[in-house]
Amino acid sequence: MDDEMKLPVIKHLTQFIEDNDEDYIVETIETLEALTEVPSLKDEELDVIGELISNMYGAIEVNKMIKEGATKKDAVNNFMKRVLGSIDK
């Protein structure tokens, strides 16, 4: 996970998962990962796709914590602490 993760994006995607289904996010990740194999993509484009994928994985992780009983606020905060902790190392 990189420092490009955006808290508002993760919160929005977490709400999307609640309102719809995690499968949409999983399938979108697979689609975006397949797109990264296009040889003509520029580095900036790959960075944006990577950022989207990271945020989607983040939302899945937050959703998992919520399913395990955490409040949405605690799940988001704990996730961001872990991400920021891993960046500091």
- Sequence-separated (6 or more) residues with CB below 8 Å from residue 86: 1
The model's confidence at residue 2, banded by pLDDT at 50, 70 and 90, is very low
Q: How many domains does the chain fold into?
A: 1
Burial of 89 (0-12, 13-18, 19+ CB in 10 A): exposed
Q: Is 70 within the bounds of a domain?
A: yes
Q: Is 64 within the bounds of a domain?
A: yes
Query: 46 is in which domain, residue-wise?
Result: 7-88
pTM as predicted? 0.87
The model's confidence at residue 86, banded by pLDDT at 50, 70 and 90, is confident
Q: Is 51 within the bounds of a domain?
A: yes
pLDDT of 80 higher than 60: yes
Q: Is 2 within the bounds of a domain?
A: no
Q: pLDDT tens digits, residue range 20-64? A: 999 999 999 999 999 999 999 999 999 999 999 999 999 999 999
Q: What is the mean pLDDT of residues 7-12?
A: 93
Q: Is 1 within the bounds of a domain?
A: no
